[in-house]
């Protein structure tokens, strides 16, 4: 049985012979063989490029899905389990929730501060936590988080990008 490569070579050989005949060029076997071999090699190269592109795109889609799913899940949990807290002159809305283990800022277009019940109870702790989270807001950390995610989606295959994202997140703290 003929291999896939042999079939591709035979088809390329026949195509070159047909082109030479149509152009009334002399059919020299060595020349025909070289051109057919080059055609097959170029076709295989394109196939490899397409394969790598599809692998990259599939990885990108998978990472994007995981990031979006995790953020959507957290957003849903926060919306279901939050109670707004009145803080006069606050730049952002403040909520109390048990949906997160530690206080955080969450949201891109309308970021808000989420406090744990323990952090909200003590006025001194609450003041420090609010200032900490507002510092994140002033440093645009909620936007940097999205940019880190975009970098991870596009360069999911590169361990250095994952390390850089982790270091960037730690640096924000």
pLDDT digits (tens, 9 = 90+) for 4-63: 778 888 888 888 888 888 888 888 888 888 888 888 888 777 677 888 999 999 999 999
Tell me 109's DSSP state.
Answer: S
Distance CA 9, CA 18 (A): 14
Distance CA 157, CA 159 (A): 6
Tokens describing residue 32 = 């025909």
The CA-atom distances, in angstroms, between 100 and each of 71, 106, 134 are: 13, 11, 18
Model confidence at 2, pLDDT cuts 50, 70, 90, reads low
Q: Say how far residue 32 (Cα) sits from the centre of its chain.
A: 46
Residue 22: CB atoms within 10 A of its CB come to 8
Predicted confidence at residue 51, as pLDDT, reads: 86
- Beta strands (DSSP E) in the chain are 82-85, 93-97, 104-106, 112-115
Distance CA 156, CA 12 (A): 38
> 81 and 117 in contact (C-beta within 8 Å)?
no
Residue 9: CB atoms within 10 A of its CB come to 18
Distance CA 110, CA 61 (A): 26
> 95 and 113 in contact (C-beta within 8 Å)?
yes
Please state the rounded mean pLDDT for residues 147-154.
97
């Amino acid at each position: 049985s003929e291999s896939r490569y042999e079939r591709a070579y035979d088809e390329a050989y026949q195509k070159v012979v047909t082109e030479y005949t149509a152009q009334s060029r002399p059919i020299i076997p060595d020349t025909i063989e070289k051109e057919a071999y080059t055609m097959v090699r170029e076709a295989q190269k394109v196939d490899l490029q397409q394969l790598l592109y599809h692998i990259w795109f599939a990885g990108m889609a998978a990472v994007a899905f995981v990031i979006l799913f995790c953020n959507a899940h957290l957003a849903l949990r926060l919306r279901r389990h939050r109670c707004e807290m009145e803080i006069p002159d606050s730049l952002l809305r403040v909520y109390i929730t048990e949906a997160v283990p530690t206080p955080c800022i969450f949201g891109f277009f309308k970021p808000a501060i989420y406090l744990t019940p323990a952090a909200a109870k003590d006025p001194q702790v609450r003041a420090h936590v609010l200032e900490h989270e507002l510092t994140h807001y002033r440093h645009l950390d909620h936007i940097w988080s999205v940019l880190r995610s975009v970098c991870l989606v596009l360069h999911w295959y590169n361990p250095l990008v994952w390390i850089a994202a982790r270091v960037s997140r730690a640096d924000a703290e």
